[in-house]
Amino acid sequence: MPKMTFIEPDGSRREVDAPLGLSVLEIAHKNSLDLEGACEGSLACSTCHVVIEPEWFDVLPEAQEDEEDMLDLAFGLTKTSRLGCQIIMTEELDGLVVRLPGGSNNAMK
């Protein structure tokens, strides 16, 4: 089973099982991690914003224009920011490390 690590806002690390075909958002929810996902992965918000550790950023497929538009609304945007709903686990991503930002901008409320 592939694994991934979430770094929580307080710096603590949680390694979890990351089933192939699930999104980072789904994996976070399966493991009771605090990653909102207000639009339930429909690419209509930025509340599942995660920061990819630099060594993993270039391994990911490039963000599509719709994702980049939503990222512009994200809290604490960085050069390696992505939306968790758009990152689907593959064998190549076994070991992926993502950082959870300390908040989110929820325009859905």
Bridge partners for 82 per DSSP: 50
Q: Which long-range contacts (CB under 8 A, 24 or more apart) does 59-68 make?
A: 59/92, 59/93, 59/96, 60/87, 60/93, 67/43
- Each domain of the chain, given as residue ranges in start order, spans 3-99
- Angstrom distance (rounded) from CA 53 to CA 99: 7
Q: What is the pLDDT of residues 13-67, one digit of tens each?
A: 999 999 999 999 999 999 999 999 999 899 999 999 999 999 999 999 999 999 9
We find that the CATH architecture of domain 3-99 is: Roll (3.10)
Q: Are 4 and 48 in contact (CB under 8 A)?
A: no
Q: What is the pLDDT of residues 96-105, one digit of tens each?
A: 999 998 765 5
Report pTM.
0.91
